[in-house]
């Protein structure tokens, strides 16, 4: 990647093209040059691998029996079914945890199991499995305690459940340390796992487990996929899992199933979110990541995640509509509260000069713990530094919150490297949660600042835009834009392609009602003008002036209007020539 500085202080990192590899893919797969260029950039230069990526198939899902402890889990679950014993399903309060729990609830009920399903209340129980949930399972008479999207670190709770006479099956996808003493632990991250893909979501792990159980019971797999791919895709995309390998298959076919789902709760939520699809059109990953996902998450952030769970397992249309309306109101409250906290945190960071530190640690006793993770992400976008945002409980003297980061700084490793500071903590490289004593606030901030200083360079703190390749403007046309849709669904590890073209004339710069956004006409040499749109940089473009030559960072899109399809470029940034 060759760096090029843009006038907004972001670095453009442009991928180098491989003409030979692109030509091979074009010849063997019959695809346009830009599609071939993207595949090469994403390590899919082998024609067979590229074909498989472009043509995902449910037949390419791996054998679920290779999941670690699959046989033990199968025996425990089907044994409880045969003995008509109650299975207590325990999920989590985010979208992945709720969809995992809903999938298990629906599947186990469908095959004749007795099921009670629980997701934790963020404020009353906190993350993971609370002792009260184990006690509730015991009182209910459960003989099998089955977790989803949690449990890998619940050593004490698993022990208590087994001492209470329950078998315990843990299904999880979080980083594995010492395994809990459960009857079975299904987690593809286990060091002894032979499963070919370890980046499944919690819902993905459950989806594959129930796939295996379906085979054992002789259930038609096509029917199983029709019934449960929608939930698996919701959890996979909302949890920002890499959309490659099995996740790509789950997302591609799951989005199709979501578009035509029979689940009245999802239908009601789509109506509240005003998602209207044209006939034959499918939902895109955007609809899950930025429309449906935030609404389902809002229930667990500000209210009770059980609202989202009940919505996903409800079969009554009237009840589902009422639940969806409640969730919509909660999400509206979430947006208002989120903006308040972002504004306060931003002001606090700037006033104290923390935006010049290697790591930002900021907290307040009025901030809702269910929203601080989103706020951390917004501060990372603004200041481009690893950021910890915590809510302070003055009564207990405990700070509890979430962290988000930039490339090259692993949050989970940072937390685990300082066990003397954190009361609890863990998560992923890019997102984590933690707690520590308020008296240690400055010590935590200083320690993380010094720790990050040992591994981050000044360049790491610069906003970076990764551009797939430089293109000739003649390569950009409607047919290419349509062919690029073969790469969908876009998301983590498969972002929407971004290109740069040099020496393009800003032939016309046309205002919109919002001066931050402008419409464009773009031309290379004597070629026909191509329409474009630019969001957020309209005032800068207007000052630059029509007729200017510029290097453009853009995404080619297909615009549809009254049955007609046309090319439109979304300009993300530019450098004046």
Cα–Cα distance for residue pair 155/463, rounded to 1 Å: 40
- CB-count exposure of residue 446 (10 Å: 0-12, 13-18, 19+): middle
List 425's β-bridge partners, or say none.
434
Cα–Cα distance for residue pair 362/92, rounded to 1 Å: 26
Set out the domains of the chain in order of their start, with CATH numbers.
2-46+465-576 (2.40.50.460), 62-318 (3.90.1640.30), 353-461 (3.10.310.30)
Cα–Cα distance for residue pair 14/424, rounded to 1 Å: 40
Sheet holding 11-14, edge to edge: 2-5, 11-14, 464-467
Q: Which of 42, 12, 9 is nearest to 466 (CA)?
A: 12
pTM of the model: 0.92
pLDDT in tens, the chain (577 residues): 433 333 344 789 999 999 999 999 999 999 999 999 999 999 999 999 999 999 999 999 999 999 999 999 999 999 999 999 999 999 999 999 999 999 999 999 999 999 999 999 988 898 889 999 999 999 999 999 999 999 999 999 999 999 999 999 999 999 888 999 999 999 999 999 999 999 999 999 999 999 999 999 999 999 999 999 999 999 999 999 999 999 999 999 999 999 999 999 999 999 999 999 988 889 999 999 999 999 999 999 998 999 999 999 999 999 999 999 999 999 999 999 999 999 999 999 999 999 999 999 999 999 999 999 999 999 999 999 999 999 999 999 999 999 999 999 999 999 999 999 999 887 778 889 999 999 999 999 999 999 999 999 999 999 889 999 999 999 999 999 999 999 999 999 999 999 999 999 999 999 999 999 999 999 998 888 999 999 999 999 999 999 999 999 999 999 988 889 999 999 999 999 9
DSSP string, 245-256: HHHHHHHHHHHH
Residue listed under structure tokens 């999938």: 103
Contact 314, 264 (CB under 8 A): yes
Sheet holding 184-186, edge to edge: 114-118, 86-90, 144-148, 167-171, 184-186
- pLDDT attached to residue 1: 40
Helix residue ranges per DSSP H, 315-455: 317-352, 372-383, 411-416, 441-453
Burial annotation 187-225 (CB, 10 A radius, 16+ → b, else e): bbbbeebebebebbbbbbbbbbbbbbbbeeeebeeeebb
- pLDDT attached to residue 8: 44
Cα–Cα distance for residue pair 151/179, rounded to 1 Å: 10
Measure the N-to-C terminal CA separation of the chain; round to a whole number of Å: 21
List 531's β-bridge partners, or say none.
521
3-class DSSP state of 68? coil
**Tokens, residue 146:** 């089955």
């Amino acid at each position: 990647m060759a760096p090029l500085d843009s006038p907004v202080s972001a670095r453009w990192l442009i991928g180098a093209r491989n003409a030979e590899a692109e030509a091979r893919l074009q010849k063997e797969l019959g695809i346009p040059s830009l599609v071939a260029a993207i595949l090469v950039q994403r390590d899919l230069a082998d024609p067979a691998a590229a074909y498989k990526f472009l043509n995902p198939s449910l037949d390419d899902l791996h054998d679920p029996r290779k999941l670690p402890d699959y046989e033990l889990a199968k025996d425990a679950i089907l044994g409880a079914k045969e003995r008509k014993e109650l299975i207590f399903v325990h999920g989590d309060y985010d979208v992945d945890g709720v969809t995992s729990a809903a999938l298990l609830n629906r599947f186990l009920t469908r095959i004749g199991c007795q099921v009670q399903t629980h997701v934790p209340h963020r404020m009353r129980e906190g993350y993971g499995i609370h002792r009260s949930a184990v006690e509730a399972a015991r009182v209910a008479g459960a003989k099998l305690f089955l977790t989803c999207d949690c449990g890998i670190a619940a050593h004490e709770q698993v022990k208590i459940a087994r001492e209470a006479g329950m078998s315990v099956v843990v299904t999880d996808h979080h980083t594995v340390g010492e395994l809990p003493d459960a009857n079975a632990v299904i987690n593809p991250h286990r060091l002894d796992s032979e499963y070919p893909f370890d980046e499944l979501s919690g819902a993905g792990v459950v989806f594959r487990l129930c796939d295996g159980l379906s085979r054992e019971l002789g259930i038609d797999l096509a029917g199983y996929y029709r019934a449960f791919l929608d939930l698996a895709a919701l959890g996979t995309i909302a949890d920002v899992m890499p959309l490659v390998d099995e996740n790509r298959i789950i997302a591609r076919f799951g989005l199709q199933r979501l578009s035509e789902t029979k689940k009245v709760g999802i239908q009601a939520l789509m109506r509240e979110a005003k998602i209207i699809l044209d006939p034959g059109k499918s939902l895109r990953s955007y609809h899950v990541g930025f429309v449906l996902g935030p609404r389902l998450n809002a229930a667990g952030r500000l209210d009770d995640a059980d609202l989202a769970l009940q919505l996903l397992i409800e079969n009554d249309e009237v009840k589902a509509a009422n639940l969806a309306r409640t969730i919509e109101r909660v999400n509206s409250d979430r947006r208002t509260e989120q903006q308040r906290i972002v504004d306060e945190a931003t002001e606090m960071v700037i006033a104290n000069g923390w935006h010049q530190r290697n790591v930002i640690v900021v907290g307040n006793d009025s901030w809702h713990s269910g929203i601080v993770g989103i706020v951390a992400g917004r501060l990372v976008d603004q200041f481009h530094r690893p950021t910890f945002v915590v809510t302070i409980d003055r009564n207990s003297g405990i700070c509890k919150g979430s962290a988000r980061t930039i490339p090259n700084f692993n949050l989970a490793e940072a937390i685990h490297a300082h066990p003397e500071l954190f009361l609890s903590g863990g998560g992923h490289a890019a997102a984590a949660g933690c707690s520590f004593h308020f008296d240690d606030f400055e010590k935590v901030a200083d320690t993380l600042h010094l720790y990050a200083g040992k591994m981050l360079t000044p360049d790491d703190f610069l906003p970076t835009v990764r551009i797939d390749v430089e293109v000739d403007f003649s390569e950009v046309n409607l047919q290419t834009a349509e062919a690029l849709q073969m790469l969908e669904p876009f998301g983590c590890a498969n972002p929407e392609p971004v290109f740069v073209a040099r020496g393009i004339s800003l032939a016309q710069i046309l205002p919109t009602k919002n001066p931050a956004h402008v419409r464009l006409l773009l031309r290379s040499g004597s070629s026909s003008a191509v329409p474009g749109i630019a969001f957020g940089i309209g005032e800068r473009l207007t000052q630059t002036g029509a007729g200017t030559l510029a290097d453009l960072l853009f995404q080619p899109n297909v615009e549809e209007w009254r049955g007609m399809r046309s090319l439109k470029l979304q300009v993300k940034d530019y450098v004046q020539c």
